[in-house]
Amino acid sequence: MSVERPQAAMILAAGRGERLRPFTDRTPKPLLPVHGKPLIEHHLERLARAGFTRIVINLAWLGAEIRTRLGEGSRFGVSIIYSEEAPQALEAGGGIFRALPHLQPDPFLVVNGDIYTDIDFAKLGLSSEQHAHLVLAPNPPQHPAGDFGLADGLALADAEVRYTFSGVGVYRSALFEGCTGGAFALKPLLLRAMGSRRCSAELHTGRWTDVGTPERLAALEREL
């Protein structure tokens, strides 16, 4: 079974960041500082080190600030393509679907912009039979029930032991078959792929933090 490595990557950065208010009233969530630099810059540096040179970033809430801060990506050794969604973010599924023309050829990597992790992006890939590959993580205190199970390298919709989706995945355009433009969630598409055994997964036990609240942001800063 051959594994294909993604050539392009996408950082999801369009969300409003309601749980991080009041910080996100004036600063987009991906630009909140973590360990001396904006959160999204950690992603860009790690993606560049992993060999990615073409990176798509979707924009909605305060997107102009992200564009101004990052420019065209030369400072990070990458080329940044912006996918505009304003005035309203299209959720993860709709945002990726809109950006598909910039993410070809399949497969491609997607990273949530509001996480901090040491996942090795260079090692992620997708076998020819699969439509999606998810990186799962041990359940954090705020999400004890987890999202998906894992058995024999496949993600499971129902399982006694469940893990949390890290927000990092590798996908093919086939995952979005039948979709039309607009805002929609990614999870139903993943569940459909799991139903046909076309969603693989792995468990990451290294650093991973969902920077979703001021308290978790402060805790991460103390740890680092």
Identify the CATH class of 3-223. alpha beta
Per-residue model confidence as pLDDT tens digits over 45-57 = 999 999 999 999 9
Question: What's the alpha-carbon Rg for the chain, to the nearest Å?
Answer: 16
Mean of the per-residue pLDDT values of the chain: 90
Is 70 exceeded by the pLDDT of residue 26?
no
The alpha carbon of 173 is separated from its chain's Cα centroid by a whole number of angstroms, namely: 16
**Percentage of residues of the chain with pLDDT beyond 90:** 72
Which amino acid, 185? Answer: A
Q: Which among 165, 221, 223, 199 has a CA at the least distance from the CA of 38?
A: 221
At 207 the pLDDT is 92
Q: Which of 27-31, 134-138, 148-152, 168-172 has the lowest mean pLDDT?
A: 27-31
Measure the CA–CA gap between 146 and 141, rounded to whole angstroms: 10
Per-residue model confidence as pLDDT tens digits over 57-71 = 999 877 889 999 999
Q: What is the pTM of this model?
A: 0.93
Q: How far is CA 85 from CA 79, 88, 133, 208, in A?
A: 19, 6, 25, 27
The residues spanned by each domain of the chain are 3-223
Per-residue model confidence as pLDDT tens digits over 100-154 = 999 999 999 999 998 999 999 999 999 999 999 999 999 988 889 999 999 999 9
Partners of residue 183 on adjacent β-strands: none
Token representation of residue 194: 């799991």
Token representation of residue 84: 């505009």
